[in-house]
Structure 1
Amino acid sequence: MQSFIFKNKNLITFLSAILITTAFISKWTVDNLYLFTWSLVIATVIGALPIALQAYQVIRIKVVSIDVLVTIAVIGAFLIQNYEESAIVTFLFLFGAYLEQRTLKHTRSAIKELTDMAPESALKMIENGEFIEIDVDDVNEGDLLLVKTGAKVPVDGRVISGEGYINEASITGESLPVDKEKDSMVYAGTILENGTLQIVADRVGEDTTFGRIIDLVEEAQDSKSQVEKFIDRFSKYYTPVVLILAFVVWIITNNIELAITILVLGCPGALVIGVPVSNVAGIGNGARHGVLLKGSEVITEFSKVNSMVFDKTGTLTVGDPSVSETIYYTEDSAMVLSYLASIERESDHPLAKAILNELGEIELHNVENTEVVKGGGIVANINGQRIAVGNISLMEKEDVTLSDNVMADIDRLIKKGNSLVLTSVDGKLKLLIGIRDQIRSGVKKELSRLKKMGVKNLIMLSGDNQGAVDVISRELGLSEAYGDMLPEDKSAYINKLQSEGQIVAFIGDGVNDSPSLALANVGIAMGSGTDVAIETSDLVLMNSDFSRLTHALGLTKATSRNMKQNIVIALGVVLVLFTGLLFSGWVSMSVGMLVHELSILVVILNGMRLLGYKL
């Protein structure tokens, strides 16, 4: 019986509305008091059933909820034969619950959008080399899968053949298609816009990046902040106080209608729902913009941050060194470049990779007698000539003369934060290359916006040399910058800031900096959904787009303000109603319930504004 009543709660609300409408039409048109009275009686009885059953269930676990207050108020009004009030109050309470249910669904729209993106099937290769369609839950690690144009990638995996462009908005929040070719990583829930790919499954089911994102957003939306926990405790004691107050008023004044009205006016519905709806909407907005807020507590903490500490490589910089300047000391530059490329292909050093990327397709030579000089570079023979590629110390070891002009060039490149690669042929310097990690596009602008948003200290900590760190710090206008720091040095510095009363956010790549991410008040990981980033941090910028950081800060500040607004609205409405009850005659039980339900709708709509938040 209970399940039937709860299942048909909306139908009961609709019938109650029809009965109340019928009652007043019969009274105003034909003055039929018999139909008027019995319509209201029936409306009260059927409308009170789901409310009373809910009240009974919470009383069994020793909780006095809003349902208990309304049930007592309705029974009291019914007993004193105030059927108009009892019927209207039950209808408004049920209709308010219906509106809450409908509007709260919108605030959880991020989850629905994510789950709608989830792939349902996959094309799996079988023994004869053909592909058959199977349920995505039946895909196992190591399976070979085919993804066609317009299809969703079913699992996380690696491309083994084919080429195409994938829309990774479901993972990164960025709709610009990404080129995928052999050995590229692909993620479940992303869409192949053109081309055909064969992939091997690496992670399946809930272990995919997409599955983990859904889990994180669900957990975050279901989590509670300190404010919510306080309001829960407040409501636990507040509702019994209202009940006792109404009883005392009845004993003193002998006015049961006044006591019943106090029960209705004291319902803390808007207060209870206002903060959660703000949090849920804020987290939902973040999820749609590539910002994963891992819980309601992060919102409160991040909105108060006044110091941000950044890792350098992969955070403020791209993390992929590239050639910034090339200086020739010979007229035969083509020959020197071909010698350089031939030797650098023997190395797996990041600087060698940067040089080869810069040179592209070029003539290569056979390299003989290769010698790797630890901490210096490489020496080898090409076409009977001795070629040395490396740093200044290697040149000194090879007795290469560095003129005043060369030293001036070297000093200038070092001051710009470059790492140096020098090339000599038979003891004579032919080429000087400066290589540096490039600053992320738009970082300087975003750092300026962070300052305007109230972040007082912008600090960089890096394991790179102090010279390179100083160069980037000057370019970006940072408050402080420290180089040559190990992970434990970074953690110690964050501890120092916190001991000085600073609320610190640390932004890193989520791999080498996990101690700092865990220690900071808010740990923020840059990266496209890496395991360590998701597990260690409090907030993840899924597409490594630095502008998402300012969006995240603005969003948490807006969400925090929204929560406070909803608390003021909820308490203000209760205060106004009680003032109206004590000092004027305009507040009745039904008016109180109407205003009460409207206040719930107002705080929900106010919270829903966050779904459309843009910085």
Structure 2
Amino acid sequence: MKIQRFYQQHQKTILGIMTGLLSIAYLFKWQQNFLLFNTLLALVAIIGEIPLFLRATSALKFKLVSIELLVTIAVIGAFFIQEFSEAGIVVWLFSLGNLLEELSLQKTRQSVKELVQLAPKAAYRIVSPEDRKGELVAIDDLDEDDYVLVRTGDQIPVDGEVVRGSGYVDEAPITGEAKPQAKKIGNSTYAGTNLTDGTLVVQASRVGEDTTFGQLIELIEEAQDSQTQAQRKIDQFAKYYTPIVLVIALIVFITSRQIELAITVLVLGCPGALVIGVPVSTVAGIGTAAKSGILVKGATVFETFRKVNWLAFDKTGTITSGHPAVTKVVNLAGDEKLNTQYLVSVETEATHPLAKAIVHHFASATPFPTEQFTTVKGAGIKAMIAGHHVLVGNEELIQAAGITNLPTLTPTTTHVLMAVDNQLTLALEIMDPLKETTPAAIKQLQSHYHLALLTGDHQAVAEATVAGLDFDAIHGDQLPKDKVNFIQATQDKGQKVAFIGDGINDGPALATAKVGIAMGSGSDTAIETADIVLPTSDLSRLPILNRIAKATMWNMNENISIALLTVLLLFIGLFTGYIHMASGMLIHEASILVVILNSFRLLRHF
């Protein structure tokens, strides 16, 4: 309705007018002018009662007996017994409570708004990593794979990978970490973070709405519209609570014949603190999680995650970097520097998945021109470089050339061998290494949860990857259905499982688990299916999530207890003669302020 929208849009102004009229009324009372005193307070009651009456009647249309109905009946009753001062004060205090609720919700969303405001608006686009001039363009004009130049003091405008330069980046807006992070070639960057030192060239992988910021906005909006199980219980409670208070007021009137006492019961029975306590805690918890680099899609997640006792992890891209890296180099014959030049010469021309890792590892090596280049499918590459025959590939390629004296290498790694003029010269071991933050995060988590590793890699590779980490279960050779079966079997035993993954094939497991947690660098399917997203794909966020979830649920229970205790004490004070309508409403609204302030405690940094 237009009237309701008007009141919503001008809530502060209307309350200001009511407060001014209330103040003037008490000046007239001080001057013994009771006619103007009562007139102004009646006006305050009418102004403030209009939106309450409209909300009460709207609820009745849906057969809901709302709390606003209590206030409406109380105000009408106060007018009936000509207690205009009580009516005015009741409505003013209730309006003040509504405004406090709105202001509190705005404040708890502030951390999210601050992140959104940090989103960059423009970028210096360059045509190649060597370009230093750049063209200033709007963020919307950038495409994936574009190069952007970032200088000291600039915001990084895209999610991407450093392809040139080095420096230190303040990632606090995304991760909550105050210490600047060193960035070099191959490292990931996130839009909205700040380059505090150095110069970087970043190749964009996600731009505009697809960046961490774009996902943040969408996920937080979804989360703020959700309700916890506790909130639904409160809605159910209010549906029965209001009629009970009406009945109590009716009984009080029948037995005491005191209409004022009955009306006071109606007013003081409005559980305002109970109604706002849970949503304020919810939004505060979601905002705090967002500021800590954790996107929670719904408030129910806090309640569910608090009960989780198993964490099941995918391997690639979750506990590991998701990108192969050279972990060991063995020079078998000849000059090592020359051998690496031959190797880089071949791999620079190659397109297989390991080529990028090898070129990156030997970034300082200068490649030779490649005269001939032939790909042997499933085996490797044959090339002619500076008059030398060069083979780069697996054991099959090398053995096919008649070379049999192969070195002994770690069986759980991928091997790349190189031969020059039919002599084996170089051997490499390549694997997907653990993320830097994984070992510390796992050690923190193992004291709170049972841990499981579920991966499609071979069992030996899985065990080697997490050697030294305390996992309760390690299962390799897992198809998507196998991961689902493990999770389902564990949950059938009464356990609560959270699954952490990043790939399309992790979608079923994310959906089956009580809580699904996706890496921000993962597939869209995983992100959409999950309940929680870690934008920086950093497992060190999980211990923080554990603390935030527990703190949020504890805070909700505190607010519920404060609200119910306040109503109980008000009724005791009312029936023993220590509390009256005005003093009771003051205490009632004070309890609203208490639960709001209590919820603000969640906004501290975890």
What's the TM-score bracket when you normalise by the shorter of the two chains? 0.7 to 0.9
- Superposed counterparts of 1:38-77, under 5 Å: 38-77=39-78
Q: What TM-score, normalized to structure 2?
A: 0.83
Does residue 102 (structure 1) correspond to residue 103 (structure 2)? The answer is: yes
Deviations 1:28-86 (A, max 9, x none): x5555555544544444444344334434433443322221012112222322334433
Q: 3-state SS of the aligned residue for 1:313?
A: coil
Separation in 1, partners of 2:83, 2:285: 43
The verdict on how the C-alpha distance between 1:372 and 1:509 changes in structure 2, with shifts beyond 3 A counting, is same
What TM-score do you get using the length of structure 1 for normalisation? 0.82
Out of 37-46 and 230-239, give the one that drifted further.
Answer: 37-46
Greater mean deviation of Cα atoms: 168-177 or 514-523: 168-177
Name which of 347, 355, 360 aligns with 2:358.
355
Is the counterpart of residue 492 in structure 1 residue 494 in structure 2? no
Distance in 2 (CA, whole Å) between partners of 1:541 and 1:201 is 17
- Paired residue for 1:274? 277
Aligned residue in 2 for 1:244: 247
CA contact (8 A) 1:171 1:528 kept: no
Partner of 1:128: none
* Counterpart residue identity of residue 484, structure 2: S
Asked if 1 retains the 8 angstrom alpha-carbon contact of 2:519 and 2:527, the reply is: no
More displaced stretch, 41-50 vs 281-290: 41-50
Contact 2:520–2:527 (CA<8 Å) still a contact in 1?
Answer: no
Q: Which moved more, 1:353-362 or 1:44-53?
A: 44-53
Q: Secondary structure at the match of 1:476?
A: coil
Deviation of 1:289 after TM superposition, in Å, equals 2.7
Measure the CA separation in 1 of the matches of 2:490 and 2:376.
42
Matched, 1:501 2:462: no
- CA deviation map 1:124-169 (0-9, x unaligned): 99xxxxx9999988x6989999999778788889999999998776
Q: Aligned in 2, Cα 1:555/1:510: closer, same or farther, shift over 3 Å?
A: farther
Q: 1:463 and 1:44, CA in 2 relative to 1: closer, same or farther beyond 3 A?
A: closer
Q: Deviations over 1:459-481 (max 9, x none)?
A: 11122222221122222222221
- Cα gap change, 1:458/1:8 in structure 2, threshold over 3 Å: closer, same or farther? closer
Report the secondary structure of 1:350's partner residue: coil
Write out per-residue CA displacement over residues 364-411 of structure 1, whole angstroms, 9 at most, x where no aligned residue. Answer: 4566776656655445666776654444455555554548xx54xx3x
The code of the aligned residue for 1:527 comes to G
The answer as to whether partners of 1:124 and 1:143 remain within 8 angstroms in 2 is no
Q: Hey, what does 2:444 align to over in structure 1?
A: 449
Change (3 A) 1:18 1:171: closer
Query: Which string of whole-angstrom CA distances, capped at 9 and with x for unpartnered residues, describes residues 308-364 of structure 1?
Result: 111112111112222222233335333433343344445433334323322234354
1:304 and 2:296 equivalent? no
Cα distance in 1 for partners of 2:437, 2:167 equals 28
For 1:388-427, list aligned pairs within 5 A. Answer: 388-392=391-395, 394=397, 396-402=399-405, 406-407=407-408, 410=409, 413-414=410-411, 417-425=412-420
More displaced 10-residue stretch of structure 1: 377-386 or 348-357: 377-386
Q: Using the TM superposition, give the Cα deviation of residue 221 of structure 1 relative to its aligned residue in structure 2, in angstroms.
A: 0.5
C-alpha RMSD of matched pairs (Å) = 4.2
From the superposition, tell whether residues 564 and 609 of structure 1 become closer, same or farther in structure 2 (CA, over 3 Å).
same
Q: Name the stretch that deviates more: 258-267 or 15-24.
A: 15-24
Q: CA deviation at 1:263?
A: 0.8
Q: Does 1:552 align with 2:545?
A: yes
CA 278–142 in structure 1, closer or farther in 2 if over 3 Å, else same: closer
Q: Which stretch of structure 1 is more off in the superposition, 326-335 or 600-609?
A: 326-335
Pick one of 194, 218, 226 that aligns with 2:221.
218
CA contact (8 A) 2:416 2:429 kept: yes
- State whether structure 2 residue 430 is matched by structure 1 residue 435: yes
Of 565, 572, 583, which residue of structure 2 is paired with 1:579?
572
**CA pair 499-568 structure 1, distance change in 2 beyond 3 A:** same
Q: 1:571 to 1:134 in 2, by over 3 A?
A: same
Asked if 1:323 corresponds to 2:316, the answer is no
Q: State the 1:244 CA deviation.
A: 2.2
Alpha-carbon distance in 2 for matches of 1:119, 1:383: 48
Counterpart secondary structure, 1:438: coil
Matches within 5 A, 1:579-598: 579-582=572-575, 584-598=576-590
Indicate conservation of the 8 Å contact 1:524/1:541, yes or no: yes
1:604 match: 596
Distance of 2:444 and 2:244 partners within structure 1: 47
1:215/1:92 CA distance change after superposition, 3 Å: same
| Percent identical | 45
Distance in structure 1 (CA, Å) of the matches to 2:32 and 2:371 = 112
Deviations 1:248-297 (A, max 9, x none): 22123222222112111221222221111111111112222321111222
Count of residues in correspondence between the two structures: 595
1:160 and 1:199 in contact (8 A); partners too: yes
Residues 195 and 491 from structure 1, CA distance in 2 versus in 1: closer, same or farther, beyond 3 angstroms?
Answer: same
Structural mapping, 1:154-303, within 5 Å: 210-303=213-306
- Contact 2:174/2:292 (8 A) holds in 1: no
Whether contact under 8 Å (1:291, 1:548) holds in the other structure is yes
Structure 1, unmatched stretches of 5+, are: 126-130
Of residues 379-388 and 551-560 in structure 1, the stretch that sits farther from structure 2 once superposed is 379-388
Worse overlay, 381-390 or 534-543: 381-390
For 2:378 and 2:101, the matched residues in 1 are separated by 67
5+ residue gaps, structure 2, are 127-133
Structure 1 residues 90, 381: CA separation in 2 closer, same or farther (over 3 Å shift)?
closer
Residue 93 of structure 2: aligned partner: 92
Q: Separation in 1 of the partners of 2:122 and 2:322?
A: 36
Deviations 1:443-495 (A, max 9, x none): 2221122233x22x111112222222112222222222122222232222222
Question: Hey, what's the Cα distance between the residues in 2 that align with 1:376 and 1:157?
Answer: 31
The letter of the residue matching 1:444 is P
Determine the C-alpha separation between the residues in 2 that align with 1:593 and 1:334: 83
Match of 2:16 among 2, 14, 17: 14
Give 1:576's aligned amino acid: L
What is the rounded CA distance, in whole Å, between the counterparts of 1:244 and 1:418 in structure 2? 75
- Matched residues in 2 for 1:358 and 1:162: separation? 16
User: Contact 2:292 / 2:605 at 8 angstroms: preserved in 1?
Assistant: no
Give the aligned partner of residue 130 of structure 2.
Answer: none
Aligned residues of 2:325 and 2:430 also touching (Cα < 8 A)? yes
CA change 1:12–1:424 in 2 (3 A) is: closer
1:464 to 2:465 alignment: no
Pair 566,189 (structure 1): closer, same or farther in 2 beyond 3 Å: same
**Deviation at 1:528?**
4.0
Q: Which residue of 2 aligns with 1:313?
A: 316
Structure 1 residue identity aligned to 2:335: D
Contact 2:7 2:51 in 1 (8 A): yes
Q: Is the 8 A contact 1:173 1:543 kept in 2?
A: no
Could you tell me whether the CA contact under 8 Å between 1:164 and 1:197 is conserved in 2?
no
Contact 1:367 1:380 in 2 (8 A): yes
Q: Which moved more, 1:233-242 or 1:525-534?
A: 525-534
Letter in 1 for 2:333: T
Aligned-pair CA distance for 1:510: 3.5
Contact 1:145 1:201 in 2 (8 A): no
- In 2, the alpha carbon distance for the partners of 1:248 and 1:348 equals 84
Tell me the distance in 1 between the aligned counterparts of 2:402 and 2:81: 109
Determine the C-alpha separation between the residues in 2 that align with 1:441 and 1:214: 28
Distance 1:271 1:161 in 2: 56
Q: Which residue of 2 aligns with 1:536?
A: 529
**AA partner of residue 306 (structure 1):** N
| CA distance in structure 2 between the aligned counterparts of 1:484 and 1:300, rounded to whole angstroms | 33
Contact persistence 2:226–2:299 (CA under 8 A):
yes
